[in-house]
Chain A
Amino acid sequence: MFEYNFHWRPVFKSLPDLLEASITTLQVASLAMLLGIVIGFILAVSRLRGNGSVYWIATAWVELARNTPALFQLFFFGFGLGALGIHFSPYAIVLAGLTFNTAGYLGENFRGGFEAIPPTQLRAARSLGMNSWQAYTRILIPQVIRIVYYPMTNQFVWVVLMSSLGMLVGYRELTGETQFFASKTYRIFEYFAVTAVIYYVMVKIILGLSKFCASRFFRY
């Protein structure tokens, strides 16, 4: 037991690269989250108000995203579409996969958020002469944001963690970069241990920031 000699020096030497890769991770995760919020909102409204094909496309998106593995979704945008002659770069595969997945989960969250608001709120807003747009942007959406804020934070954490799948499609975000160095030096354990710490710290910072922002935004 414990005959293993730990070699941390190569890991520390490539620490700047790893930290740079974690910025890449945060970037791709943030972009996917942003797109996911916009699309998720559209999906939620389509399922609540839409009918016919709009409703079914939105529902299919949400259910596929939620009921298949994220890895499968990434492979679909990788190999799957490749078969149809559509070739994505590793970056685009990760971004498309994460966005598809996140939009689906957020779509369901947002729908729950809208349903949690009593319908009488909309009625009260309209009775004051607000038009539909004003009632949504001033009355309903601020309340939805409050309801889905923490689920959304958790979703962002999940996106950051999920972006590690980039390693499997050749994208060098944090995990991909770690894999690259680890296979070059054979110090797999050491590299992945440090990477695990970086993820842990990233997640803690995200959760802390989210709590801080909540205390500033939500006063009720």
Chain B
Amino acid sequence: MEQSVTVFSSFSVQDLSFLGEAALRTLWISFLSITIGSVLGGFFGWALYEMKVWGAIFLNPILDVFRSVPLIVQLVLFYNFAPIVGLNLDAFESGLVVLTLYTSALVANVARGGIEAVGKPMRITSRSLGMSYLQDMRYVVFPIGARAIFPSWVGVALGVMKDSALVSVLGYVELVKASQVLITRTQEPLLIILVVGAFYFALSYPVSRYSAKLEKRWSQ
């Protein structure tokens, strides 16, 4: 009980707005990397599907690197690699590049699965109706495939949102980094950590529930 009294005395309104700003940074870097990474990943997925040999030889092993090396190692590696090739990137920019590529590698697999899910007979049907390759892609493969992969894509997006916490190792003050700073200053680890956890949970849980519901409805 005594502890909870001191909790509120040392944890001020400014601290809360500090956390709030950090939360916005988490959202911002997640939003950017998920959006760009998904577009890129969709393209990679299409390339893996259409160019089986080249995809298997070149693209897939490269994408595999992003799936087989811890994100934290990728971040440190790229952050220290950029200056070597003459790029001056700050923590946000480095984090954004790595998170985007990381997202695209995960989305690529999902997207390829989506195109495969549409199935040959359906595509032969649409082509036999006289649709061009692009029309088939635009009006048949995309709508059907997108629906098939939507739940997996949501999973990837939420994963990236949570993984964005790791950009803190580069010194980018997103939510987890901000909480560490505050913990050091206020010495109130439990309260701050619970606030941060609650933020992620409040963001992730409803989305994942909603997507699970959609998946159930669509599968019927």
Q: Do chains A and B touch in the complex (CB under 8 A)?
A: yes
Q: Does A79 contact B (CB under 8 A)?
A: yes
User: Is the pair A63, B193 in contact by a Cβ cutoff of 8 Å?
Assistant: no
User: A residues 147-167 with Cβ under 8 Å of B?
Assistant: 157, 161-162, 164-165, 167
Q: Report which B residues bind A (CB closer than 8 A).
A: 3, 64-65, 67-74, 76-77, 80-81, 83-86, 158, 162-163, 165-166, 168-169, 176, 179-180, 183, 188-190, 193-194, 196-197, 200-201, 204-205, 208
User: Is the pair A79, B70 in contact by a Cβ cutoff of 8 Å?
Assistant: no
User: Residues of B contacting A67 with CB < 8 Å?
Assistant: 158, 162, 200-201, 204-205, 208
B168 to chain A, nearest CB (A): 8
Q: Does A76 contact B (CB under 8 A)?
A: yes
Q: Does A192 contact B (CB under 8 A)?
A: yes
User: Residues of B contacting A161 with CB < 8 Å?
Assistant: 68-71
User: Is the pair B68, A203 in contact by a Cβ cutoff of 8 Å?
Assistant: yes
> What's the count of A-B pairs with C-beta under 8 Å?
109
B77: which of A69, A79, A157, A192 is its contact (CB, 8 Å)?
A192
Q: List 16 A-B contacts (CB under 8 A).
A: A2-B85, A2-B86, A66-B204, A67-B158, A67-B204, A67-B208, A68-B162, A68-B204, A71-B168, A72-B176, A76-B193, A161-B70, A168-B72, A188-B80, A192-B76, A192-B80
Q: Does A1 contact B (CB under 8 A)?
A: yes
Closest to A80 in B: B193
User: Residues of A contacting B189 with CB < 8 Å?
Assistant: 79-80, 82-83
| Separation of A140 and B83 alpha carbons in the complex (Å) | 56
A165: which of B67, B72, B80, B180 is its contact (CB, 8 Å)?
B72
Q: Does A195 contact B (CB under 8 A)?
A: yes
User: Is the pair B72, A72 in contact by a Cβ cutoff of 8 Å?
Assistant: no
B208: which of A66, A71, A79, A167 is its contact (CB, 8 Å)?
A66
For B176, B180, B193, B194, the residue with the greatest tally of chain A CB atoms inside 10 Å of its CB is B193
User: A residues 58-94 with Cβ under 8 Å of B?
Assistant: 63-64, 66-72, 75-76, 79-80, 82-84
B183 to chain A, nearest CB (A): 6
